[in-house]
């Protein structure tokens, strides 16, 4: 049973525009959420996170929004750059210590 879902397998965006990646979760015990970025043949790299006590966290071009009542979070990238093309994983934690539960990932393609 998938507790973290990324329903869009892929997303294509024009350079300079906004990229919005979505993630839904089912477990109300999750209280911390992370986004990871992964290039081919490399390991995932941490991008940005948010605690359940917040509804927004911003870091440069990256902003994560959390809607706890909807059990939904999103990652906004503005402006999108070709180097942002990668697989983005949403992850959730909190029920079992440091255990992260990952979504299946969304492939982002930024076209120049």
* Given 49, 52, 57, 74, the residue binding other proteins (CB under 8 A): 49
- Is 38 within 8 Å of 44 (Cβ atoms)? yes
- Is 39 within 8 Å of 86 (Cβ atoms)? yes
Residue numbers 50-79 binding other proteins by CB under 8 A: none
Q: Is 34 in the site for other proteins (CB under 8 A)?
A: yes
Query: Least distance in Å: CB of 19 to other proteins?
Result: 19
SS3 annotation, 40-83: CCCCCEEEEEEECCCCEEEECCEEEEEECCCCEEEEEECCCCHH
Residue numbers 84-103 binding other proteins by CB under 8 A: 87, 89, 93, 96-102
If the CB atoms of residues 20 and 101 are measured against other proteins, the closer one turns out to be 101
Q: Is 104 in the site for other proteins (CB under 8 A)?
A: yes
How many CA atoms lie within 13 Å of 6's alpha carbon, on the beta-carbon side? 24
- Contact residues: other proteins, CB under 8 A: 32, 34, 36, 41-46, 49, 87, 89, 93, 96-102, 104-105
């Amino acid at each position: 049973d998938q507790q973290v879902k990324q329903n869009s397998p892929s997303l294509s965006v024009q350079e300079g525009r906004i990229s919005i990646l979505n993630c839904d979760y089912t477990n109300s015990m999750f209280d911390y959420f992370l986004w990871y970025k992964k290039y081919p043949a490399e390991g995932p790299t941490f991008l940005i996170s948010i605690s359940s006590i917040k509804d927004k966290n911003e870091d440069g071009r990256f902003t994560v929004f959390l809607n706890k009542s909807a059990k939904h979070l999103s990652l906004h990238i503005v402006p999108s750059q070709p180097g942002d093309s990668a697989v983005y994983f949403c992850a959730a934690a909190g029920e079992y210590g440091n255990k992260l539960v990952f979504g299946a990932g969304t492939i982002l393609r930024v076209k120049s």
